[in-house]
Amino acid sequence: MATADLALGQPEGALSTRQRVTNDFSINVATVNGSGSQSANSVLLKSIFAMGVPVSGKNLFPSNIAGQPTWYIIRASSEGYVARKHDSEILVALNPETALADVLALPAGGVVIHEENLKLDQARGDLFYYPVPFDKITATICPEAKLRKLVKNMVYVGVVARMLAIDLGVVESCLLRQFAKKQKVFDLNFGAVKAGFDYAQENLTKQDPFFIERMNATAGKIIIDGNAACGMGAVFAGVTVVAWYPITPSTSVVEATTDLLKKLRVTPEGKATFAVVQAEDELAAIGTVLGAGWAGARSMTSTSGPGISLMAEFSGLGYYAEIPGVIFDIQRTGPSTGMPTRTQQSDLLSVAFLSHGDTKHVILLPGSMKDCFELSQAAFDLAERMQTPVFVLSDLDLGMNNWMSEPFDYPAKPLDRGKVLTAEDLERLGGFARYRDVDGDAIGWRTLPGTRHSKAAYFTRGSGHNDAAAYTENPGEYQAVMDRLALKFEKARKLVPAPVMVRDAGSKIGFLAFGSTDCALTESLDQIRKRYGVEADYMRVRAWPFTQAIHDFVAAHERIYVVEQNRDAQLASLLKLDLPAGQVVKLRSILHYNGLPVDAESITEEFVHREGL
């Protein structure tokens, strides 16, 4: 069963109006997209981060270029929770169209910072209102009319900083970093922040209980989005060929990759040690990836659901002809076009078996920024080691939102380029059979085009072939290759990234989840313990095929809750295919699939209901 509707701002119980609330609340900046609020939101987020307070930012934006409602939610959490919070306590109401609905969605005791002339204070009597003449302030500090729309956003940063007691000096240094080397832009923007700050100082009396206070919980940490982390991983994995087709929300993976390649991978002579191709469609993107992988390059593409559907035929070729390649799928809400700017984890099943015939693919499932960086590298190693396409399933929430993370570690191991024979090897061996399992690992040796030996060449095809890569319609020869492919997939269980045992308290109840569900689930498990005294264990799955540790985890618990962000319980379905029949009955699902990132309260509520607590 699904959890209840998780529309933004469902009341969650009145806040105490007298008790001071420090470093534990959410700010919802409601604006219209295309108004340039992104830099302002980023400065506000980074200012809280620079105050040493754990913070996360989630952009809930429309599939549109300009003029539609958009919400940016900044969550401060002294305990370091970074999932979307069910409610936001503070609203910055800059979009007249949604202002009333946004105000009505606030919990009692919430705060509204709004354009003076919106007259929102008549809507409810249980909130704190801070009217601000944003347009007037902006006009006085920004003579250029066409810049005002952008500058206005920085005015609210100043107002919020003042009302929450964020140091103005901290905001200033964050702005300086944001607009490094652009003094005029900085001056204009900081002028706006200062004007907002001064206005609030002179005209608004603090009545609400929300404060940001300095902590020391972010020292040494970084803020990054998952797509940038994946791109960084690819570059440090030595990617050389990138082919892609623009699609939300995966585009920034390739943008990040390309930026880094241009910065880090150009020779002193000015030549590129990489090639990036914007393909004509996703079919061409994956075709190029496989062509490059076949010829020996480390190649990748990045896409989302609709692109994955288009890549189906080629994925089967990659599997059957045993060609390496890395495919990032930054999942969005499906089916079909779905909601392109909303998040989901609903491509798992289609990617697992992508293409016709008996096909199955190795999937890596990053659940943190570090995972995005490290599993992205692991994907290239695995693809070449196993000679198969490897899929990295991230999602919009991980990919496009800002996350706090420990800094990334430099890769400890050299690249694994897999089993490739050189001309010297061939001279020694006298020849080879491309698809023969000579080492007992179910992986054949391959040669690269251009290898100067008369026995180097083989014929790559998606049609029936025997272990010497020759065309066959012989039942035995065909089946032998298929059986070896199945064995190769079995052996991948030991090669893929191990799951993470997040909590191991020896409970009878276990949780399994993957990807961006992690942050909400860890918070939910704390809620369950604090509110009900119930301890539960949790293992975070990081790859398919499943490792033995996942089987053991299920075997060691009486009940297993599988939490995931799709309607059809896709992770649970894969588990059911994999687990012994006696274990399958232990599985139950907690599902969330309305397009918003899952929040802890929703998981807790559903768990409590199921357990009858």
Residues numbered 194-223 forming contacts with another protein, rule: CB under 8 A: 220-223
The token duo for 154 is 């920085």
Residue 356 lies near another protein (rule: CB under 8 A): no
User: Shortest gap between Cβ of 75 and another protein (angstroms)?
Assistant: 19
The token duo for 535 is 């301890």
CA distance 353 to 573: 13
**512 closest CA partner among 462, 469, 570:** 570
Residue 312 lies near another protein (rule: CB under 8 A): no
User: Shortest gap between Cβ of 322 and another protein (angstroms)?
Assistant: 12
CA distance 481 to 475: 10
What is the arrangement of strands in the sheet containing 509-514, beginning at the earlier edge strand? 500-503, 537-541, 509-514, 559-564, 587-591
Residue 149 lies near another protein (rule: CB under 8 A): no
Q: Which is nearer to another protein, 232 or 327 (CB)?
A: 232
Report the SS3 class of residue 69: strand
Residue type, 546: F
CA distance 562 to 452: 52
User: Shortest gap between Cβ of 59 and another protein (angstroms)?
Assistant: 18
Residue 313 lies near another protein (rule: CB under 8 A): yes
Q: Which is nearer to another protein, 4 or 470 (CB)?
A: 470
User: Shortest gap between Cβ of 603 and another protein (angstroms)?
Assistant: 30
CA distance 161 to 172: 11
Give 288: exposed, middle or buried? Use CB within 10 Å, 0-12, 13-18, 19+: buried
The H-or-E segment that residue 113 falls in is: strand 111-115
CA distance 481 to 487: 10
Give 440: exposed, middle or buried? Use CB within 10 Å, 0-12, 13-18, 19+: exposed
Q: How do beta strands 500-503 and 537-541 pair? A: antiparallel
Site for another protein in 410-439 (CB under 8 A): 410-411, 414-415
**Torsion region of 569: left, alpha or beta (phi above 0 gives left; psi -120 to 50 gives alpha):** left
CA distance 520 to 471: 51
Residue 460 lies near another protein (rule: CB under 8 A): yes
CA distance 277 to 280: 9
Which one of residues 8, 108, 275, 349 is an interface residue with another protein (CB under 8 A)? 275
Which one of residues 54, 109, 196, 296 is an interface residue with another protein (CB under 8 A)? 296
Stretch that binds another protein, among 192-200, 405-413, 539-547, 604-612 (CB under 8 A): 405-413
User: Shortest gap between Cβ of 74 and another protein (angstroms)?
Assistant: 18
Residue type, 130: Y
Which one of residues 138, 299, 346, 524 is an interface residue with another protein (CB under 8 A)? 299
Query: How many other CB atoms sit within 10 Å of the CB of residue 370?
Result: 18
Which one of residues 207, 463, 479, 548 is an interface residue with another protein (CB under 8 A)? 463
Which one of residues 169, 335, 431, 449 is an interface residue with another protein (CB under 8 A)? 449
Residue 246 lies near another protein (rule: CB under 8 A): no
Give the count of residues interacting with another protein (CB under 8 A): 72
Q: Which is nearer to another protein, 131 or 464 (CB)?
A: 464
Residue 237 lies near another protein (rule: CB under 8 A): yes
Which one of residues 25, 61, 134, 294 is an interface residue with another protein (CB under 8 A)? 294
Residue 284 lies near another protein (rule: CB under 8 A): yes
CA distance 341 to 69: 13
Stretch that binds another protein, among 123-131, 265-273, 480-488, 532-540 (CB under 8 A): 265-273
Residue 288 lies near another protein (rule: CB under 8 A): yes
Which one of residues 1, 7, 448, 577 is an interface residue with another protein (CB under 8 A)? 448
Q: What separation in angstroms does the CA of 598 have from each of 88, 107, 344, 516, 517? A: 15, 19, 9, 8, 7
CA distance 95 to 100: 9
Residues 155 and 195: beta-carbon distance below 8 Å? yes
Residue 317 lies near another protein (rule: CB under 8 A): yes
Structure letter (DSSP) for residue 564 = E
CA distance 284 to 243: 8
Residue 241 lies near another protein (rule: CB under 8 A): yes
Site for another protein in 547-576 (CB under 8 A): none
Q: Which is nearer to another protein, 188 or 279 (CB)?
A: 279
CA distance 590 to 459: 48
Stretch that binds another protein, among 146-154, 311-319, 388-396, 493-501 (CB under 8 A): 311-319
Residue 169 lies near another protein (rule: CB under 8 A): no
**395 closest CA partner among 570, 589, 230, 571:** 230
Residue 482 lies near another protein (rule: CB under 8 A): no
CA distance 71 to 87: 13
Which one of residues 238, 338, 340, 597 is an interface residue with another protein (CB under 8 A)? 238
Q: Which is nearer to another protein, 215 or 555 (CB)?
A: 215
Which one of residues 210, 314, 511, 514 is an interface residue with another protein (CB under 8 A)? 314
Q: What separation in angstroms does the CA of 525 have from each of 72, 245, 520, 558? A: 26, 39, 9, 17
**571 closest CA partner among 386, 374, 387, 367:** 367
User: Shortest gap between Cβ of 591 and another protein (angstroms)?
Assistant: 34
Residue 459 lies near another protein (rule: CB under 8 A): yes
Q: Which is nearer to another protein, 2 or 283 (CB)?
A: 283
Which one of residues 74, 82, 286, 362 is an interface residue with another protein (CB under 8 A)? 286
Stretch that binds another protein, among 31-39, 188-196, 282-290, 514-522 (CB under 8 A): 282-290
Residue 81 lies near another protein (rule: CB under 8 A): no
Residue 293 lies near another protein (rule: CB under 8 A): yes
Which one of residues 45, 82, 243, 563 is an interface residue with another protein (CB under 8 A)? 243
Residue 53 lies near another protein (rule: CB under 8 A): no
Stretch that binds another protein, among 100-108, 122-130, 280-288, 472-480 (CB under 8 A): 280-288
Which one of residues 452, 475, 533, 612 is an interface residue with another protein (CB under 8 A)? 452
